[in-house]
């Protein structure tokens, strides 16, 4: 069975009314959380037509597939929502294993992702001997439409690959080649290198590609974009023959709705500014956290007007940084080497524990259980910032952590 999340989902208003009527009470016994306190709320300002697409996409995102509806033949989980708790980050048990042999994605050995589950008649993959392995937690899906709408020039303005300013920070973009089936009308699509924005090493340039490859790699679901099922090279044709559902298994309209659904997911609001957090915010800048965790951008044009020309407070420069030996996975992705990671946005941290049974699972593989642990794992370009954090008094450390955890 799938590892389903225990995420809090907003109850339907009709259900709330039925509960009130059945209980014959004048006051609600429970109430839906505010949009600012969940990961699956729409961005404000959607049109009625866009809300219809959002709701259809939400249904598709939560759909749990079975062998009768096309899951597999090899896969990792049965639904988008099964990996992303409440549309936020995944748990340790949802971690995906990526592997390669150096820069070779090892496609003939089952790469670039290990599918460790299989339907009846198929054989799950096992990790080949001697490959470079990277364990990665599913990232949050909220806010990706806002990230997509940030002009490439605004992201590139923070790049300093040669550390020309001498601050020890040399963020650089990951230029990637999009899949041939991603049209030029998509941000990050078309011919030639495109700016990577998504996934742990910014190795994906479009929301469409990220979503379609998740259908294919994570669930074994075929689409018009990738209409052929994955085959376990270790078992050959028997893996493919075990899936009898006609391809593509999900219609184009559903894929498009799910893609637009994640585009239109709003990031949760930060917590209130207390004196401690305001002081922590000052320390955040003073010790240099903002050099990589850039506070905000402004989006450009978007066909979804609610995403256009709006402030995006994500605390990330969306660039690659050398994070040192401790966090290295020694596995390249696109132009990213085995020590580099995209700066992780900090938005939504204040709610993480509510959707992960009290846990946080920070860093790419979830090894850190607190913000302080995560900071102390920073190396490479972030060594100076980590040392500055370590030099703070216990009280000042607590204020900075409080600020970060309130985002």
In angstroms, the CA 190 to CA 227 distance is 20
Give the position of tokens 């040399």: 170
Q: Which of 129-143, 194-208, 232-246 has the lowest mean pLDDT?
A: 232-246
pLDDT at 299 over 70: yes
| Res 354: pLDDT | 86
SS3 97: strand
What's the pLDDT band for 242 if we cut at 50, 70, 90?
confident
DSSP for 39-88? Answer: SSPBPTT--HHHHHHHHHHHHHHHPPP-GGGT--SEES-S-HHHHSGGGS
- Quote the percentage of the chain above a pLDDT of 90: 79
What's the pLDDT band for 28 if we cut at 50, 70, 90?
very low
Q: Tokens representing 15?
A: 């259900």
What's the pLDDT band for 31 if we cut at 50, 70, 90?
low
Give the position of tokens 């000052």: 282
| Res 237: pLDDT | 65
E strand or H helix at 285 = helix 275-286
For the chain, the average pLDDT equals 90
| Res 6: pLDDT | 34
| Res 217: pLDDT | 96
In angstroms, the CA 116 to CA 270 distance is 37
Ranges of each domain in the chain: 13-19+34-141+186-263, 144-178+272-405
The CATH number of the structural domain formed by 144-178+272-405 is 1.10.760
Task: Report the predicted TM-score, pTM, of the whole model to 2 decimal places.
Answer: 0.89
The 10s digit of each residue's pLDDT in 49-108 is: 999 999 999 999 999 999 999 999 999 999 999 998 888 888 888 899 999 998 899 999
pLDDT at 38 over 80: yes
| Res 240: pLDDT | 72
Q: Which of 2-6, 127-131, 298-302 has the lowest mean pLDDT?
A: 2-6
The 10s digit of each residue's pLDDT in 356-396 is: 888 889 999 999 999 999 999 999 999 999 999 999 999 99
């Amino acid at each position: 069975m799938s590892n389903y999340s225990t995420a809090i989902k907003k109850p339907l208003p009709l259900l709330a009314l039925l509960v009130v009527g059945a209980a014959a009470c004048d006051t609600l016994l429970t109430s839906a959380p505010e949009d600012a306190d969940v990961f699956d709320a729409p961005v404000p300002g959607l049109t009625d037509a866009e809300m219809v697409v959002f709701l259809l996409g939400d249904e598709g995102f939560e759909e749990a597939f079975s062998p009768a509806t096309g899951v597999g033949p090899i896969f990792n989980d049965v639904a988008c929502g099964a990996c992303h708790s409440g549309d936020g980050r995944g748990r340790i048990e949802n971690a995906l294993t990526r592997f390669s042999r150096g820069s070779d994605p090892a496609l003939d050995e089952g790469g670039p992702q290990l599918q460790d589950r299989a339907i009846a008649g198929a054989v799950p993959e096992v990790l080949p001997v001697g490959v470079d392995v990277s364990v990665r937690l599913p990232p949050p899906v909220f806010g990706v439409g806002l990230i997509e709408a940030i002009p490439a020039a605004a992201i590139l303005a923070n790049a300093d690959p040669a550390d020309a300013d001498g601050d020890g920070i040399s963020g650089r973009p990951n230029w990637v080649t999009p899949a041939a089936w991603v049209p030029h009308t998509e941000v990050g699509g078309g011919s030639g290198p495109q700016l990577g924005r998504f996934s742990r090493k910014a190795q994906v340039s479009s929301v469409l590609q990220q979503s379609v490859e998740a259908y294919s790699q994570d669930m074994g679901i075929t689409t018009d974009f990738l209409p052929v099922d994955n085959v376990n090279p270790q078992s050959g044709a028997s893996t493919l023959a075990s899936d009898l559902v006609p391809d593509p298994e999900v219609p184009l309209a559903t894929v498009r709705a799910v893609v637009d659904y994640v585009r239109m997911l709003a990031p949760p609001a930060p917590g209130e500014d207390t004196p401690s957090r305001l002081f922590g915010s000052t320390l955040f800048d003073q010790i240099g956290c903002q050099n990589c965790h850039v506070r905000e951008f402004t989006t450009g044009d978007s066909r979804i007007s609610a995403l256009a020309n709006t402030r995006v407070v994500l605390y990330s420069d969306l660039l690659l940084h050398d994070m040192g030996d401790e966090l290295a996975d020694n596995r390249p992705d696109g132009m990213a080497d085995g020590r580099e990671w995209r700066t992780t946005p900090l938005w939504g941290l204040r709610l993480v524990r509510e959707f992960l049974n009290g846990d946080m699972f920070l860093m790419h593989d979830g090894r850190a259980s607190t913000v302080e642990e995560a900071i102390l794992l920073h190396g490479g370009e972030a060594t100076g910032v980590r040392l500055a954090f370590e030099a703070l008094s216990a009280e000042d450390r607590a204020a900075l952590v409080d600020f970060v955890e309130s985002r």
